[in-house]
Amino acid sequence: MHTRWSRFLLTITAFCLPLAGIAPAQTNHESQPPDKTSQSGKVVLYAAVGPELTRYEVDVNGAALTKRETIALPANVQEVAVHPTRRFLYIAWSNGGPSNISPSQPIPSGSLHGLSAFRVDPASGALLPHGQPASLPSRPIHVTTDIPGTHVLAAYNDPSGITVHQINADGTLALLQVHQPQKLDVGVYGHQVRVDPSNEMVILVTRGNGPTATKAEDPGALKLFSYKDGVLTNWLSIAPGGGFNFQVRHLDFHPSRRWVYVSLERQDKLEVYGKQKDGTLGRTPLFTKDTLNDPGNVRPGQALGTIHMHPSGKFVYLANRASGTVDFQGKPVFGGGENSIAVFAINQQTGEPTRIQNMDTHGIHVRTFALDPSGKILVAGNMMELPVRDKDGVRTVPASLAVFRIGNDGKLEFVRKYDLSVGGRNLFWMGMLGLP
């Protein structure tokens, strides 16, 4: 690391106030998932707008949020990973990417990218800077820890890639990347990295790119690597149809069965893959399901987003997001589409998902959402503010956090929303954590 860069990061971190942030931890055993409910009974939510990360106390039974402190990272928060102990967070940040620009603007690559460790205050969920940040080569689009919490893995989209940093015994980050002896097959446009519950396989979800008027489609794929002690080895590439019309975005693991659920961004579909005896995934999906209410009438700008399993494994949730615009009296307004959480019930014998609900998110473009550790509530992050036409003219729908109760049948009931003043920026990431 260059001396000037090291001094800059150390100075920025020293001025960070106690903070908060987090993404749900992964399961660490396939047949019997761990209890992620909070022993203290306390749950916190963290939401990032640009470089600012705000902590909220969560009343799970009341389905309510109480805003607490906000802190600033060196650049826009991209994603957050939680240590399996829930005592440390690893926050990826960058001044590149679309997290504070409008969709019509070109996406900057940025020049400042890093990963910061924070210690979680077990009483409140506030975060304390913990060691020096690690420099990253480009904008980190997703981060996660491995199952024992010995390494942090980061995925990159431009250029597509993956890096690994060791986690020291005290929870701080090693500043240098783990050397990868083999050139890795990282596909086109990495979008998510996940570690299999066995801790022996890593999956890099590579989205590819849809076709344009001047460029052919870049195929998507699931890139599988064998994994040991932070070292990755090429294993298998899964790309049905050669990866065309396979614009994969995110995946999640069933907590107790051998199924993996995958969202296809441009195709607005949910696919299910079975795990094989050798630990890899089947080459073709077991099931493919539509996520939209009206898949035959897709508006420009409609896309599928992230995916989360219910802790019980009985349901899976996906974000349908729309933010395309049309011209109205010389100004861009919302062009229509579906902003909803699609709810699927899962057959526990076959893994087949059946769509049982599409719940309006009461906002525009849900980039992220989260379930509390007990699976009683879901909070959707409506990313952006956007003018919308209605019978009285044009009104602006604000960015917001929308809170839903989850019924015993998995269906969502809207409770309330908290409008956010984002000032032209985006609510780019949010997550919930049960405190230790």
- What does pTM read for this prediction? 0.90
Q: Within a 13 Å sphere around the CA of 332, how many CA atoms are in the beta-carbon half? A: 8
Cα 68 to chain center, whole Å? 23
CA angle 262, 263, 264 (to 5 degrees): 120
pLDDT reported for residue 383: 96
In the block, residue with structure tokens 């890593």:
202
Phi, psi of 360 (to 5 degrees): -55, 135
pLDDT reported for residue 393: 87
Q: What is the DSSP string of 77-99?
A: EEEEEE-TTSSEEEEEEES-SST
**CATH number (domain holding residue 185):** 2.130.10.10
Q: Which structural domain, as residue segments, surrounds residue 125?
A: 3-434
pLDDT reported for residue 20: 31
In the block, residue with structure tokens 């959707």:
380
Kindly list the averaged pLDDT for each block of 10 residues, start to end, along the chain of length 436: 42 36 38 51 96 98 98 96 97 85 65 97 97 97 98 97 98 97 98 98 97 95 98 98 98 98 98 96 98 95 97 98 94 95 98 98 97 98 95 92 98 98 93 96
Number of domain units in the chain: 1
The 10s digit of each residue's pLDDT in 51-77 is 999 999 999 999 999 999 999 999 999
